[in-house]
Amino acid sequence: MYKRQAFPNALIPLVTVIGLRLPNLFAGSVIVEQIFHWQGMGTLNISSVLNQDYTVLMGLNMISATLVLIANQLADIAYAIVDPRISYD
């Protein structure tokens, strides 16, 4: 009985936390790549800082900014799905 009333209200903060933490997962990849010696965007970022390759740094920052925008957009869409009272006109 309470699931129908409490569950949608409890999902709103959860969607907020997940939407804000999603870009942090990509920021934490630098540490994981260094520990396991994987080649990825974190390693590319570190090597471009050390080599002063500003073009690659700008591209990586653009990708990171795009990921933040996508995560925020997905959180907004999830708000509308979870709570039908929220509408975007």
In a domain, 44, yes or no: yes
Residue 51 has what pLDDT? 96
Number of independent structural domains in the chain: 1
Per-residue pLDDT tens digits of the chain, which is 89 residues long: 667 777 778 888 888 888 888 878 877 877 888 888 888 888 898 899 999 999 999 999 999 899 889 988 988 888 888 877 777 76
Number of neighbouring beta carbons within 10 Å of residue 85 = 8
In a domain, 59, yes or no: yes
**Domain range holding 21?**
2-82
Residue 40 has what pLDDT? 86
pTM for the complete prediction?
Answer: 0.74
Q: Which structure tokens are listed for 86? A: 């929220």
Residue 7 has what pLDDT? 78
End-to-end Cα spacing for the chain: 32
